[in-house]
Amino acid sequence: MSVFVVSFRIADEQSTYGTYSERWASVNEAIQSKAVGRNYWKQTTSFFALQSTETFASSLASAINVSSKFDPAKDLLLVVNLSFKDYKVLGVNNDADIEAIMALR
């Protein structure tokens, strides 16, 4: 079990996975469903803090991807494990600075 922060961006365009609204709502639901006791913080747009039974950021990112309409060819997901030095970027990332920033932890 670990504590995570999750941030995501859904491309504002149609995808084979659905419309922007459908994909955004499904990613929100997928993240909420992974929270222990459905206890999470989501006071800012497209950002969650939660505790999950997942141990690794890659596992949580994969679970969100599989259980939602997230389109890795268009959208972007960042999962950071706050319990361990672990993170996962999934989808379209055109800025490699995240790797340098995460290496500073």
Per-domain residue ranges for the chain? 2-103
User: What confidence tier does 38 reach under pLDDT thresholds 50, 70, 90?
Assistant: confident
pTM: 0.94
Q: Tell which CATH classification among 3.90.70, 3.30.70, 2.60.40, 1.10.287 matches the domain 2-103.
A: 3.30.70
The Cα–Cα gap between 2 and 14 comes to 34
Mean per-residue pLDDT of the chain: 96
What gap in Å lies between CA 70 and CA 82, rounded to an integer?
23
Per-residue pLDDT averaged across 23-27, rounded? Answer: 97
Exposed e or buried b for every residue in 78-95, given b needs 16+ CB within 10 A? bbbbeeeebbbbbbeeee
Q: Where are the alpha helices (DSSP H) in 1-105?
A: 20-34, 57-66, 97-103
Examine the pLDDT at 40 and tell me if it is beyond 90. Answer: yes
